[in-house]
């Protein structure tokens, strides 16, 4: 059977699955040009996840946190949810209901189909800002789109710069692809990551200073006339103004702030122009109060050396909007910024939360605030998940989900241009996101046919609307969606070094650097290699809960290797064990992101800031968090 890994990950691996004596076996589909037949360690362990005894088998219900969950039949649980939905809408209006969903499963149907019901009911929806939003807005400012190059075009390149991305952990197939085609790899990161250790050059930058570093590099490129003059003349808007702006950039200041010596700034500029590097702009480093400005500045570099879309960030190959069915609405949509969930609950705007494909009680920042808000404001919470997650524990009704091995779907990737087919292998427990939607619609007495369309029908229509066919997809399990001729979506129709869109949004037309320093140590909470945000913690149980701290920061605090420490700030405190590491610079500490609170007793999001970057779509700023650490 053809499967596709539905995790929230760049690679979207094509898998071949088989059921033997009731046991699931998986291997990579060797024909897939990007994922090339090997699975990452997380993917190889998928059968363990699938067969996990921890999977929810029956719906659960209770009075919120008051008594024990009791197992109930599906009909009873669905009726309870349907009745409460109706009652909430009658008492408080449709916008008091919020559907909170994210990318726990990226299947076209299982990501979007439940939204049909909520559109039909005219409820509030999320304005997604947790992951890559600042960069999305930034790239729209400069290029009019966040969709960059097809990674298969890396074949013709010499150099890739991994800027604020730990690709060896988060985009393994991308990293191996670059390796296969002998690209030179550079890394710009605060931390000496595994990606940095496996690359030819490493620029260890102080956090939050990327915009300045990029502007410094641009200055050297422009002032030494290393840029592609013909390309710039034809493709760039505002180059002269930008050149003027660069005059104000002082390279000694760049060096002081970024911690990267002048010689190395020049080395970057000269070699980068000579090798015409492309840049994979990470999602990680833009999750900061300076993230949007940083992405704008970094994205200018590939244009200077003559690339039309010389960055990798997002990929949109097919239009999936049919699956979501926003056309079912009869009222304009109220969007709740994802990062402001606690605030909206506190303001009494949300009375009913329907959560699927997400674990916000692990993944959102400032957990103390969020958890109190849910309890104190009498929100009715329904969670649809495969496991009894932290979010499920804060629910009135928990509905068991099945997995992508148990249903039909397709998936695209935010990294490459392939759409892949996912066929059901068998069925164990739970119901899919679309099945539950149909059951709820029925229990509410809704007759609209769009709420009863089958998964296959939705997939067939989505494919058809994109000029693709299921027949084609069934041959190898995937198809490539070739890019159409591309234009810059900016007001001038060019790459805007002077951004008119940014100006309109109340920002400087040029990327700006603003120093950003808090009290104590800056806490970074990047991805961990063997989980996907919170997923797999409970099934593989291979996590790393340590606090990583630089030897000098440890010494002044009297902290030694393996000491128990308390990490604290205005949001909360946690206890863990310290590891002393030169890979982490002075002034910075690391706790990996979003493990299960239920299993660990804490997670980093009891410490992270829920401040958002308003002008960049209320984007998250997890990394703009400062803490203090003491030995206990
Ligand atoms: N194994 C694994 N893979 C994943 C995920 C996972 O949880 N685990 N999650 C998936 C998801 S949802 C996403 S969004 C992507 C994220 O993929 P990545 O973009 O790789 O994400 P992070 O590891 O959060 O951050 C990358 C790097 O940013 C660095 N960084 C932090 N602040 C700064 C800064 O100011 N400047 C610079 N230059 N660097 C900085 C961190 O040190 C970190 O090494 O990965 C996806 N893939
Ligand atoms: N401190 C800190 N926190 C972070 C980040 C960070 O860098 N630092 N990164 C952020 C980022 S980049 C992201 S994308 C978010 C992710 O935030 P979330 O999307 O909330 O995180 P996940 O842990 O992936 O949760 C997905 C849930 O979906 C469930 N699920 C999987 N498949 C299905 C299905 O088919 N049906 C249903 N109903 N459920 C399913 C899984 O079991 C899991 O519980 O986290 C953010 N949190
Ligand atoms: Mo993400």
Q: Which residue has the tokens 């620029």?
A: 203
| Residue whose CA is at the smallest distance from ligand 2 atom 11 | 131
User: Could you tell me which of 313, 355, 261 has the C-alpha nearest to residue 148?
Assistant: 313
Q: Domain for residue 119, yes or no?
A: yes
Q: Are residues 475 and 496 in the same domain?
A: no
Residue nearest to atom 6 of ligand 1 (CA): 532
Domain with residue 60: its CATH number is: 3.40.50.740
User: Structurally, how many domains does the chain consist of?
Assistant: 3
| One domain for residues 109 and 205 | no
In a domain, 282, yes or no: yes
Coil, strand or helix: which one is 218? helix
Confidence of residue 276 (pLDDT cuts 50, 70, 90): very high
Strand partners, 631: 565
pLDDT of 361 strictly over 70: yes
Residue 225 lies in a domain: yes
- Does residue 224 sit in the same domain as residue 367? no
Measured from the CA of 527, which atom of ligand 2 is nearest?
A: 7
Residue 64 pLDDT class (50, 70, 90 cuts): low
What angle, rounded to 10 degrees, do the helices at 210-223 and 239-247 form?
110
The residue behind tokens 């990267």 is 260
30 within some domain? no
- 561 secondary structure, DSSP code: T
Report pLDDT digits (tens) over 462-511: 999 999 999 999 999 999 999 989 999 999 999 999 999 999 999 999 99
Instruction: Give the pLDDT confidence of 72-82 residue by residue, as tens digits.
Output: 999 999 999 99
Using 50, 70 and 90 to split pLDDT, how confident is the model at 517? confident
Tell me the three state secondary structure of residue 488: coil
Residues 184, 259, single domain; the answer is yes
The answer to whether residue 85 scores a pLDDT higher than 90 is yes
Specify if 44 maps to a domain: no
Residue 126 alpha carbon to ligand 1 centre in Å: 23
Question: Would residue 89 count as lying in a domain?
Answer: yes
Residues 141 and 220 reside in one and the same domain: yes
Tokens of 552: 């000098």
- pLDDT tops 80 at residue 128: yes
Whether residue 167 contacts residue 35, with contact meaning beta carbons closer than 8 Å, is answered with no
Whether the CB of 358 sits within 6 Å of ligand 2 = yes
Distances in Å between the alpha carbon of 20 and those of 31, 50, 118? Answer: 23, 14, 39
Predicted local distance difference test score (pLDDT) of residue 63: 77
Instruction: Check whether 238 has a pLDDT greater than 90.
Output: yes
Q: 3-state DSSP call for residue 77? A: helix
Q: What percent of the chain has pLDDT over 70?
A: 100
Ligand 2 pocket, 356 CB below 6 A? yes
Q: Please indicate, yes or no, whether residues 139 and 231 belong to a single structural domain of this protein.
A: yes
Q: How remote is the CA of residue 71 from the centroid of ligand 3, in Å?
A: 33
Could you say which DSSP state residue 532 is in? B
SS3 state at 446: coil
301 & 338 share domain: no
CB 604 less than 6 A from any atom of ligand 2 = yes
pLDDT digits (tens, 9 = 90+) for 571-626: 999 999 999 999 999 999 999 999 999 999 999 999 999 999 999 999 999 999 99
From 627, 625, 619, select the one nearest 293 (Cα to Cα). 619
Per the structure, the complete domain to which residue 80 belongs is given by 54-129+318-480
Atom of ligand 2 nearest to the CA of 132: 12
- Alpha-carbon span 73 to 397, nearest angstrom: 12
Q: Closest Cα to atom 45, ligand 1: which residue?
A: 170
* In a shared domain, residues 247 and 208: yes
- Give the number of whichever ligand sits closest to the CA of residue 130: 2
Mean pLDDT of 507-534: 97
Write out the DSSP string of 162-207: EES--HHHH-HHHHHHHHHTT-EEEEEESS--HHHHTSSEEEEPPT
Side-chain half-sphere of 566: how many Cα atoms within 13 Å?
Answer: 7
Q: For residue range 190-227, list pLDDT tens digits in order.
A: 999 999 999 999 999 999 999 999 999 999 999 999 99
Nearby residues for ligand 3 (ion, Cβ within 5 Å): 131
534 touches ligand 2 (CB under 6 Å)? yes
Nearest residue to 370 via CA among 133, 571, 127, 628: 571
| Mean pLDDT of the chain, nearest integer | 97
The answer to whether 339 and 619 have CB atoms below 8 angstroms apart is: yes
pLDDT of residue 578: 98
CB of 388 closer than 8 Å to CB of 54: yes
Taking alpha carbons only, the member of 469, 553, 573, 437 closest to residue 82 is 437
User: Domain holding 303: CATH number?
Assistant: 3.40.228.10
Tell me phi and psi for residue 631, to 5 degrees.
-75, 140
Residue 25 sits at φ, ψ, to 5 deg, of -125, 140
Contact between 5 and 34 under an 8 Å Cβ cutoff? The reply is no
Answer whether residue 566 is part of any domain: yes
Tell me the mean pLDDT in the region 518-536.
Answer: 97
Q: Are residues 291 and 357 in the same domain?
A: no
Same domain as 589, residue 446? no
Question: Are 270 and 408 within one domain?
Answer: no
Work out which ligand 2 atom sits closest to the CA atom of 535. 23
Does one domain contain both 466 and 553? Answer: no
Q: Which of 165, 141, 133, 171 is closest to 287 using CA atoms?
A: 133
32: in domain: no
CATH no. for residue 607?
A: 2.40.40.20
Please identify which residue in the block is written with the tokens 């990318």. 103
pLDDT digits (tens, 9 = 90+) for 411-437: 999 999 999 999 999 999 999 999 999
Q: What confidence score (pLDDT) does residue 67 get? A: 80
């Amino acid at each position: 059977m053809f499967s596709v890994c539905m995790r929230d990950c760049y690679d979207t691996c094509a898998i071949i699955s088989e059921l033997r004596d009731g046991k699931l076996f998986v291997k990579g589909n060797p024909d897939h040009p990007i994922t090339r037949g090997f699975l990452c360690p997380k993917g190889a362990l998928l059968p363990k996840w699938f067969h996990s005894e921890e999977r929810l088998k029956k719906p659960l219900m209770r009075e919120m946190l008051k008594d024990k969950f009791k197992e109930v039949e599906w009909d009873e649980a669905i009726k309870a949810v349907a009745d409460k939905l109706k009652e909430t809408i009658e008492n408080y209006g449709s916008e008091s209901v919020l559907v909170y969903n994210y990318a726990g499963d990226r299947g076209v149907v299982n990501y979007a189909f439940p939204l049909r019901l909520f559109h039909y009911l005219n409820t509030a929806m999320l304005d997604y800002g947790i992951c890559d939003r600042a960069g999305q807005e930034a790239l729209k400012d400069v290029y009019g789109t966040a969709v960059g190059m097809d990674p298969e075009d890396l074949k013709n390149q010499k150099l890739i710069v991994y800027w604020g991305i730990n690709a060896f952990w988060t985009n393994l197939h991308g990293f191996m692809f670059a390796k296969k085609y002998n690209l030179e790899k550079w890394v710009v990161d605060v931390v000496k990551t595994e990606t940095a250790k496996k690359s030819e050059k490493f620029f260890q930058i102080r956090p939050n200073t990327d915009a300045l570093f990029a502007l410094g590099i641009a200055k050297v490129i422009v002032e030494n006339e290393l840029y592609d003059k013909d390309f710039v003349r034809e493709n760039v808007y505002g180059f002269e103004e930008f050149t003027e702006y660069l005059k104000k950039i002082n390279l000694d200041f760049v060096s002081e702030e970024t911690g990267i010596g002048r010689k190395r700034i020049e080395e970057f500029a000269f070699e980068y122009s000579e090798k015409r590097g492309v840049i994979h702009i990470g999602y990680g480093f833009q999750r900061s109060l300076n993230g949007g400005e940083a992405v704008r500045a970094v994205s200018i570099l590939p244009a200077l050396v003559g690339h039309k879309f010389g960055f990798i960030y997002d990929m949109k190959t097919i239009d999936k909007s049919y699956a979501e069915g926003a056309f079912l609405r009869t009222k304009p949509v109220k969007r709740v910024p994802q990062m402001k969930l606690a605030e909206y609950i506190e303001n009494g705007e949300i009375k009913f939360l329907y959560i699927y494909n997400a674990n916000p009680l692990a993944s959102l920042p400032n957990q103390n605030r969020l958890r109190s808000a849910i309890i104190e404001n009498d929100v009715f919470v329904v969670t649809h998940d495969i496991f009894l997650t932290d979010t499920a524990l804060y629910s009135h009704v928990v509905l068991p989900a099945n997995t992508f091995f148990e249903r039909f779907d397709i998936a695209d990737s935010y990294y490459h241009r392939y759409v892949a087919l996912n066929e059901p292998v068998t069925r164990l427990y739970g119901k899919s996101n679309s099945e539950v939607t149909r059951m709820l619609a029925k229990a509410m007495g809704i007759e609209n046919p769009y709420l009863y369309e089958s998964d296959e029908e939705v997939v067939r229509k989505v494919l058809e609307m994109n000029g693709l066919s299921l027949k084609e997809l069934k041959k190898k399990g995937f198809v490539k969606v070739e890019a159409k001729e591309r234009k810059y979506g900016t007001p001038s129709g060019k790459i805007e070094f002077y951004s008119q869109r940014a100006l309109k949004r109340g920002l400087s037309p040029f990327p700006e650097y603003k120093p950003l320093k808090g009290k104590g140590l800056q806490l970074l909470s990047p991805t961990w290699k063997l989980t996907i945000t919170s997923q797999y913690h409970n099934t593989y149980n291979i996590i790393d809960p340590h606090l990583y701290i630089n030897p000098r920061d440890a010494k002044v605090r009297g902290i030694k290797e393996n000491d128990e420490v308390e990490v604290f700030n205005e949001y909360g405190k946690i206890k863990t064990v310290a590891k002393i590491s030169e890979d982490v610079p002075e002034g910075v500490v690391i706790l990996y992101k979003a493990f299960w609170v239920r299993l660990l007793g804490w997670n980093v999001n009891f410490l992270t800031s829920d401040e958002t970057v308003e002008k960049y779509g209320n984007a998250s700023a997890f990394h703009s968090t400062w803490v203090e650490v003491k030995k206990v």
